[in-house]
Amino acid sequence: MKLRLDLLLACAIASAAPALAQSNGNSINLHSTYMPSDDRGFYVVEGARTLSAGEIYAGFDFNHAHNPLELGFPGDSRARSVVRQLSMLDVALGFGIRDDLSLSVVLPVVLDNDGRELNQPDFFTDDTRSGGIGALRARLKWTIYDSREHDPRGLEDTEDSVEFALALSPFATLPTGRARDYLSDQNNPTGGGNLFAEVEFFRRLRIGGNLGIEFLSSSPDIGDLEIEDRGRYGLAAEIYLFRESAGVDQPERLAEREESAAEQRRIYRILALLGSVDGELSEAERAFLEDVADGFGLEPAARQALSAEGTEDTLRLVESLEVPLERARLEESLRDFLAIDDLSEAEREAYAVLAEVQGLEPELQPTEAGTWRERADLRVPIEVLEPARQSEGNAHSLSLGAELFGWVDTGNLFHNERKHSSEVGAFLRYQHRSGFSLRAGISRGLTNGLGTPDVRYYAGLGYRF
């Protein structure tokens, strides 16, 4: 059996020799499985949502393809490896231009390229190398429709059971990889576009797909095969085991202000002293103090004691205050006090003493007349309503998924298996609220197409900030 196989190989190589001699040998990009350019997708299959405006994404994805190029015939098992393994590290950098538009650049770095020159019949001459880079890729992604536009990461629970998004994505590659290392399409740039779509059910199941085309500026050939433009496709499904969510607000509740009740009473006492320094309280001063007492929520007994008429001696008590009062609150009350129309000269002089003791401006500008009446309901009650968080929500997301992806020669749709690359795989993905993400996956080839490995392993990490 082995002898028969060797004879078949020898015949195949001999018959292909003229074509091999005229061809460009290795001039095809075997690293045509594009790793993600942001964290909005599945794994290999991109998602339809973009980075938000101002967000930056940096990611690293390891990709190891075992036997991505072997000799064989359509429908038959592979015969002999030409490229035994290709290990790459894709370095991605993305930026959100707008909430619906992002730009990303991915540079593939060669970690290991273990292959042979195709037109060496003896297959003993190692020609491909380790190190270097592959074809640089740039991509724009524009989300043209998003049913949850206000919440692109899906953090909020909504009444909608189904969410949908659609995006267009032009892309281009530059021939920065060596053609003889199977990392460039005949040293020429490529360009094209994709249509991405995804639908989500009950924040648990997400299904997405892409369909696009990659135009080649010239037709690369390898052996007796010539590749025209590539039609790209992908289909993915992902189920969330648990998912990041926003915190839930409680109804408003009563909470204490920063000022204590004792502090509020001290402010009230100072106002009462100022009003009574000339031996009596005018009707306007009494009305003002009553309003402040209502705002502070003072008990009737405390209100009566603090608003009793005093003398200049009682003002000396202010000088003995060791702890300064909360300045913003005191100044607000004093501005209102100074706006009272019939303040006596003694009361204004008393204010000057208070200002010196408390370190206030000597010439504090009063508020407009009557303003304190308009602000009666804002005069710092002991308790106020404020919202409180019931919880911070879930900061973690973990999901499992499956993907089908590949490309096909548009000039020979599905008629030649060697010009059709198709893989099926599974992945695990973790994300944290901070922007950190981890992912890992495995796939196997379904065809004998160029660039289709026996098995592919991939793993990556990223950070969005």
CATH code, 317: 1.10.3680
Q: Are residues 325 and 270 in the same domain?
A: yes
Which of 353, 371, 386 is the last residue in one of the domains? 386
What is the model's pLDDT at position 284? 78
Assess contact for 221 and 24: CB atoms under 8 A. Answer: yes
Q: What is the pLDDT of residues 186-240, one digit of tens each?
A: 888 999 999 999 999 988 999 999 999 999 877 777 766 778 889 999 999 999 9
Q: Are residues 359 and 433 in the same domain?
A: no
**pLDDT-based confidence at residue 255 (cuts at 50, 70, 90):** very low
With a cut of 70, say whether residue 265 has pLDDT above it.
no
Structural domain count of the chain: 2
Name 421's Cβ contacts closer than 8 Å, sequence gap at least 6: 32, 406, 407, 408, 445, 447, 449, 450, 451, 452
What is the model's pLDDT at position 132? 86
Domain that holds residue 361: 253-386
Q: Are residues 163 and 81 in the same domain?
A: yes
Q: Are residues 144 and 260 in the same domain?
A: no
What is the model's pLDDT at position 282? 77
Q: Are residues 316 and 244 in the same domain?
A: no
Q: Residue 141 is part of a domain; what is its CATH number?
A: 2.40.160.40
Q: How far apart are CA 183 and CA 86, in angstroms?
A: 10
Which of 332, 359, 386 is the last residue in one of the domains? 386
| 357-361 own/partner pairs: CB under 8 Å, 24+ apart | 357/318, 357/319, 357/321, 358/318, 358/321, 358/324, 358/325, 358/327, 358/330, 359/324, 359/327, 360/327, 360/330, 360/331, 360/334
Q: How far apart are CA 355 and CA 351, in angstroms?
A: 6
Least confident of 10-24, 82-96, 172-186, 308-322: 10-24
Q: Are residues 143 and 285 in the same domain?
A: no
Residue scoring higher pLDDT (450 or 93):
93
pLDDT, mean over the chain = 75
Least confident of 59-68, 256-265, 418-427: 256-265
Assess contact for 57 and 104: CB atoms under 8 A. Answer: yes
Beta-carbon neighbour count of residue 127 at 10 Å? 16
With a cut of 80, say whether residue 279 has pLDDT above it.
no
**pLDDT-based confidence at residue 439 (cuts at 50, 70, 90):** very high
Assess contact for 387 and 250: CB atoms under 8 A. Answer: yes
Q: What is the pLDDT of residues 307-322, one digit of tens each?
A: 665 544 444 544 444 4
**pLDDT-based confidence at residue 324 (cuts at 50, 70, 90):** very low
Which of 330, 359, 386 is the last residue in one of the domains? 386
Give the global pTM: 0.63
- 32-36 mean pLDDT: 84
